[in-house]
Structure 1
Amino acid sequence: DPEAAAKALEPVARRLPACAVAAARARLAAGDTGAALGLLDTLPAPGPGGPALTVRAALVRAEAADRAGDIAAARRLVARALCDARRERLRRPFREAGPWLRPLLAAAPAHDWLIAGGGIRDATGRRPAPVVEELSPRERDVLRRLAQLMSTEEIAADLYVSVNTVKTHLKGLYRKLSVGRRADAVRRARELRLL
């Protein structure tokens, strides 16, 4: 129930910007556009949550404008979200946004982006390089040790964590870097200048 989700998130939303954006999305889903925008207005500018949070907030505002029939404002907000996302290679916020976004993305000529075949493609039909979600500080620690060719057990000992914890971080790394092996993770991280 979007209404219940929004009410549950709002007390935390005042302290955590990510929760404010999630609560705004829930309010919008419940049909309360004014409350959704009000929650977004409480976010400090520039947002401390980084580009992923800024992109999500812009998309919530764009959806609110789209529902209100202000297509020009919705397009401007989507264009801003695309620009911020492109710099950081973010794709997930657009997938999470929902089907209302497809027509607006297709009509964003300034960025030459289209939705085709279930994924974002540029105007030439090529997929952009796999997008990387921001790595957590601990995932970066594990990645640096991977680059030093340390084993899982050595990484665990070096970081004072269990082997299972390292394996969990490795899974997150592989998912975020769109790879399936250690060597590929290190290569991809070097391509993205994460190492």
Structure 2
Amino acid sequence: QHLHTTLVASAAHLAEGRPDLATKVLDQVGGEQPVLAVAAARARLAAGDPGGALRLLDPGGPVRGGGPAVLVRATLLRAQAAHTAGDTATARRLVVQAVAEARRERLRRPFREAGPWVEPYLAAVPPHHPPADAEPPPVLVEPLSGREHDVLLRLAQMMSTEDIAADLYVSVNTVKTHLKSVYRKLAVNRRNDAVRRARELDLL
């Protein structure tokens, strides 16, 4: 089962209030990919197992080496575990840490995904005032098509061109064509730059 399909299935089970099934789907994949560890921790937290969630979220554990979005989500889940345990001081400190990391990468989606518990903590975070000479936020040249967004999502998961093609049931040449279009619309020339720009534009 492909990584993206597994993550979607797990999220669907969680949305339906079935964290046990979400955990089961993720456990079938195995491995220690950071994005899987975060998803598994979210499922365990929803199932009432904060200890199991925190073991997965340990900075020296499976989440190590994950990208900024993975690390922000991991920090927010640790904050949620502290909040659930009534440790508001730790929750507040971790939310501030997540906000600081997210600001560097201009990430917003992890906070929308976190749920209503995080809102009071975010309200207490001091406002951020960028320097007057800061660069303006990037603008998308042209909207991505649905298939281009599918390719971009898998690009952010560090999948190879061949893996993306297999996952989407298209040819490698088709994926390359979509990638060229994505690069053009994001005004970049490399994969890493495309992922970073997409995060800045809140496309991931």
Measured against the shorter chain, the TM-score band is: 0.5 to 0.7
2:113 maps to which of 96, 105, 110:
96
Contact 2:56 2:62 in 1 (8 A): no
Identity %: 51
- Asked if structure 1 preserves the Cα contact closer than 8 Å seen for 2:41 and 2:53, the reply is yes
Unaligned runs of 5+ in 1: 114-120, 123-127, 140-159, 175-181
1:162 to 155, 158, 173: 173
Shift of 1:102: 1.1
Does residue 148 of structure 2 align to residue 129 of structure 1?
Answer: no
Measured against aligned partners, the alpha-carbon deviations of 1:56-83 in whole angstroms (never above 9, x if no partner) come to 1101000111111111101110111111
The answer as to 2:186 corresponding to 1:185 is yes
Relative to structure 1, the CA distance from residue 98 to residue 48 in structure 2 (aligned partners, 3 Å threshold; closer, same or farther) is same
24-33 or 6-15, larger mean C-alpha shift: 6-15
Residues 13 and 20, structure 1, Cα contact 8 Å, conserved in 2: no
Q: Provide the rounded CA distance (Å) in 2 between the counterparts of 1:25 and 1:43.
A: 18
Instruction: Provide the C-alpha distance between the structure 2 equivalents of 1:42 and 1:6, rounded to a whole number of angstroms.
Output: 21
TM-score norm. by structure 1 comes to 0.60
> How far 1:107 sits from its partner (Å)?
1.0
C-alpha distance in structure 2 between counterparts of 1:131 and 1:10, whole Å: 39
Aligned counterpart for 2:43 among listed residues 14, 18, 26: 26
Report deviation, 1:22.
0.4
Q: Does the aligned pair in 1 maintain the 2:72–2:110 contact within 8 Å?
A: yes
Provide the secondary structure at the position in 2 that maps to 1:90: coil
In 2: Cα distance, 1:46 partner to 1:33 partner: 16
State how far apart, in whole Å, the 2-side matches of 1:83 and 1:131 are. 23
The alpha-carbon distance between structure 1 residues 34 and 194, as it changes in their structure 2 partners (threshold 3 A), is: closer
Distance 1:87 1:8, change over 3 A: same
Distance change in 2, residues 1:71/1:131 (3 Å): farther
Query: Is 1:38 paired with 2:46?
Result: no
* Offset at residue 161 of structure 1 (A): 3.8
CA RMSD in angstroms, aligned pairs only: 3.9
Aligned-partner Cα distance in 2 for 1:50–1:56: 10
Letter in 2 for 1:185: L
Give the match's secondary structure for 2:75: helix
TM-score by length of 2: 0.58
Structure of greater Rg = 1
Deviations 1:35-63 (Å, cap 9, x if unpaired)?
A: 11122238538821121111111010001
- For the 8 Å contact 2:68–2:101, the answer to whether it is kept is yes
Larger RCO, structure (CA 8 Å, separation 6 or more): 2
* 8 Å Cα contact 2:68/2:105 also seen in 1: yes
The one-letter code of the counterpart of 1:108 is V
The secondary structure found in structure 2 opposite 1:103 is: helix
Q: Which has the higher strand share?
A: 1
